[in-house]
Copies of this chain bind each other. A is one copy, B any other.
Amino acid sequence: MSESEPIERLVGLLAKLPGLGRRSARRAVLRMLMQPEALMLPLAAALREAAEAVRPCAVCGNLDTRSPCAICRDPRRERGVICVVEGVADLWALERAQVHRGLYHVLGGTLSALGGVGPEDLAIRPLLARVAEDGAEEVILALPATVDGATTAHYLTDRLRPTGVRVTRLAQGVPVGGALDVLDEGTLAAAVKARRPA
């Protein structure tokens, strides 16, 4: 045991983050210990602030310091076009690409027979309610190009049909099996522009 207990605890917590194993967590901790004032304490403060201030938007599921979130409150967004995404990471990726000027709806996952994820586990009922109440013109299904993503898109298309809303999905251009949030912005822009009826 050469690593002291506070260091060991910090390494253990950082190693739980996606993309960081114990080795990279140790490197990160060492880097931070070299400049505690410049990096470590600001990071501690930013974590605490985010944990206390950030919450899910009650309308769309985006994460923000206020609910409804900045996108839902923005009067310049097209309120009749709702883009449905699996998670917040995909919402952020589409925002960075600046291709969608409407609103969003975060499902919180995709239907998965193997994973035991059913319609009641996702924010599908709130989506149907939003479409009915707000009189949306179009729902864009921006779901991952996986089997579960396609299953979810089919299910949503069926459920949305009675409302009469136009349902579209992203054009081919999203690689099969690919997650949205790792795509470059040009690919995302092309896929949104060439979207077609679901």
Contacts and interface: CB of A to CB of B under 8 A. Distances in A.
A20 B27 CA distance: 11
A17 B32 contact: yes
B36 A18 contact: no
A23 interface: yes
Interface of A: 1-7, 9-10, 13-14, 16-20, 23-24, 26-33, 36-37, 39-54, 62-65, 69-71, 87-89, 91-92, 95-96, 181-182
A8 to B, nearest CB: 10
Task: State the copy count for this chain.
Answer: 2
B48 A41 contact: yes
- Interface SS, A side: helix
B70 A26 contact: no
Given A4-B54, A17-B28, A20-B20, 19 more contacts: A1-B95, A3-B92, A4-B70, A9-B46, A9-B50, A13-B46, A14-B43, A17-B31, A17-B32, A18-B27, A27-B89, A27-B181, A30-B87, A30-B89, A33-B50, A36-B51, A36-B52, A43-B47, A44-B48
Nearest to A17: B28
Nearest to A36: B51
CB-CB nearest 8 A-B residue pairs:
A2-B95, A44-B47, A19-B24, A36-B51, A40-B51, A17-B28, A44-B48, A10-B46
Given A2-B92, A50-B7, A50-B40, A19 B28 contact: yes
A63 B11 CA distance: 14
Contacts of A27: 18-19, 89, 181
Contacts of A3: 92, 95
